[in-house]
A = this chain, B = another copy of it.
Amino acid sequence: METQTILIKNTTIIANEIKKGSVLIEDDKIIDITADKGNNGADEIINGEGQVLIPGLVNTHTHLSMNLMRGLADDLPLDVWLNDHIWPVEAHLEGKHCYAGALLAALEMIKSGTTTCNDMYFHMDDVARAIDESGLRGLITHCMLDAGDEEKRNQEIKETEHIIKKHHDTAQGRIKVAISSHSPYTCSEELLRWTRKKADETGLKIHIHVSETEKEVVDSLNDKKKRPFEYLEDIKFLGPDVIAAHSVWLSGAEIALIKENNVKISHNPLSNMKLASGISPVSDLLANDVCVSLGTDGVASNNNLDLFQEMKMSSLLQKVRKLDPTLLPADKVLEMATINGANTLGMEKEIGTIEVGKKADLVLVDMNAPHLTPYRNPISHLVYSAEGADVNTVICNGEILMRNREVLTLDEMEVMNIAQSAAEDLISRS
């Protein structure tokens, strides 16, 4: 196959230092970063004038297919929301629904500058197909729950084995697979131990929900006489390959365990606020050098996949939590949404920064807008003033997914129609 080159020229590059210049892409990689404004004979020229170039954003906790459930039920107590709305709908999910939801989510992510997701859900063959078609990068896991049932556990393990075999390192390397036990409260110790063993054997990551609600901690103390992270440490589950979503209710001892084991935390501020789960002590985790990244969770509890909102609110929420406006400054927050996300997913050598040799996962944000004027400190504007709709052009793995707000890999109207029909079909069954 012939080599393809793309030159993004005359832009403002948000790297270790902010600089004006050009980025040259060959196939899937960044091969040059230069102050030169020439055209270098590239096959494609993208003029980045008036825009800033950032690493593609990384969303480290998603349930893409839940996009079909956006706005289905809001403002309800958690048990009513789950028992009367989410679970009855999920009981009827088929692969076609998950495909449609994931395709809609992929479209939404592209339009708001996210190039990589970490997705845990069901019917992952169909989710993988949607991610592949969209051109995005994704770490995917089948969400295993056994609630102590051995037959169910064996089914779940079989499905995880299938997903690993079929999808790991496919789609030009854009799709990788991890292993998910849903949570310490929905999975048996056997399943959690199998998860750890499988991760050790394969070198794959583990994706799990931990300590999302206070009730989970109280129940864990009642049932196991230990808090969730203490229990996970006890059964030797914790390690640097564990991606723990939410992690809202943490004792000081648990923060120490997270640090010692180099567990990665996916912070989901908007979901935690909307479901009234609580506020994760993110500034304390960061002060302990824990790697914290950002995730949206599913849109049923958000209700969108816009990481620009997640960046702004993660900062503002910590500031008000501790009454300290210096916490989570803009540059640190942008790192959480980029290189910390890459670190979390074990992709820090490939993505998360704009560097020669890394994959070309790049996003141009248009600064030429009233709410981003006056142009002054681009990182402040990205974190505190911008919104998803300011994203102009998105490149993932060297492929242009969106250019001048036009999505190239998916037919936007068609995807919205497929998703609307699938959502109506799904709801009509429950």
In contact, A71 and B376 (Cβ under 8 angstroms): yes
Q: Does any Cβ of B come within 8 Å of A26's Cβ?
A: no
The docked-state distance in angstroms from the alpha carbon of A186 to that of B85 is 51
Q: Which one of A30-38, A222-230, A315-323 contacts B? A: A315-323
Residues of B within 8 A of A108 (CB): 370-371
In contact, B276 and A376 (Cβ under 8 angstroms): no
The docked-state distance in angstroms from the alpha carbon of A316 to that of B304 is 14
Known contacts A305-B371, A323-B276; A71 and B381 CB within 8 A of each other: yes
The docked-state distance in angstroms from the alpha carbon of A277 to that of B316 is 11
**Range, interface on chain A:** 35 or more
The smallest C-beta distance from A131 to any residue of chain B, in angstroms, reads 15
The docked-state distance in angstroms from the alpha carbon of A108 to that of B299 is 27
Known contacts A76-B325, A329-B75, A373-B420; A384 and B320 CB within 8 A of each other: no
Interface residues of A in 273-300 (CB under 8 A from B): 273-279, 299
Known contacts A111-B370, A375-B420; A385 and B275 CB within 8 A of each other: no
Q: Does any Cβ of B come within 8 Å of A28's Cβ?
A: no
Residues of B within 8 A of A304 (CB): 371, 384-385
In contact, B420 and A319 (Cβ under 8 angstroms): no
The docked-state distance in angstroms from the alpha carbon of A191 to that of B327 is 37
In contact, A325 and B371 (Cβ under 8 angstroms): no
Residues of B within 8 A of A323 (CB): 214, 276-278
Residues of B within 8 A of A261 (CB): none
Q: A361-383, CB under 8 A of B: which get 1 and which 0?
A: 00000001011011111001100
Closest to A323 in B: B276
Known contacts A317-B273, A325-B81, A330-B75; A70 and B374 CB within 8 A of each other: yes
In contact, A78 and B381 (Cβ under 8 angstroms): no
Q: Does any Cβ of B come within 8 Å of A40's Cβ?
A: no
Q: Does any Cβ of B come within 8 Å of A313's Cβ?
A: yes
In contact, B320 and A273 (Cβ under 8 angstroms): yes
In contact, A380 and B71 (Cβ under 8 angstroms): yes
The docked-state distance in angstroms from the alpha carbon of A324 to that of B75 is 9
Q: Which one of A7-15, A52-60, A234-242, A411-419 contacts B? A: A411-419
A272-B320, A274-B325, A371-B388 given; name 14 further pairs at CB < 8 Å: A70-B381, A76-B325, A81-B325, A111-B370, A214-B323, A273-B316, A276-B320, A299-B385, A304-B384, A313-B316, A317-B320, A374-B423, A387-B387, A389-B390
